[in-house]
């Protein structure tokens, strides 16, 4: 089992940047591939980015590819999401999650979730 706590959200103007962090505790962090998801008001939670336990092979939703970067520091038990060129459509609660098996972009493939951090992008 792993516990996850996100931080780093906030209010930013369009075109700006934010870096989200996800601090993990519990079972060996490096044994989990990790993902970021987001949920906008009135919408379903959607996949944003994925990274393997070793930090290789990052994968992204087409809507964020080229603007967002997922990374991790296994020595610090921390997952990151660097978000650049933010747009109002990126406004959502962002969640980190531990992948336990299955398709990397499916919510059902993740069993441990953080509480989320709000990102608001103003136009």
Q: How confident is the model at residue 27 (pLDDT cuts 50, 70, 90)?
A: confident
H/E/C letters for each residue in 67-82? CEEEEEECCCCEEEEE
Q: What percent of the chain has pLDDT over 70?
A: 100
* Residue 75 reports pLDDT greater than 90: yes
Place of tokens 């103007």: 13
* 8-12, 24-28, 64-68, 72-76: least confidently modelled range: 24-28
What's the whole-number mean pLDDT along residues 28-56?
95
């Amino acid at each position: 089992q792993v516990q996850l706590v996100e931080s780093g959200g906030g209010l930013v103007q369009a075109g700006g940047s934010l870096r989200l962090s996800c601090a993990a505790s519990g079972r060996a962090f490096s044994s989990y591939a990790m993902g970021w998801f987001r949920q906008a008001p009135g919408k379903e939670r959607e996949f944003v980015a994925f990274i393997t336990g070793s930090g290789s092979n990052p994968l992204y939703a087409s809507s964020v590819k080229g603007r967002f970067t997922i990374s991790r520091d296994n020595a610090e038990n921390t997952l990151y999401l660097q978000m650049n060129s933010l747009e109002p459509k990126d406004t959502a609660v962002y969640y980190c999650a531990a992948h336990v098996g299955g398709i990397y972009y499916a919510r059902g493939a993740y069993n441990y979730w953080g509480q989320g951090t709000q990102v608001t992008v103003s136009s």
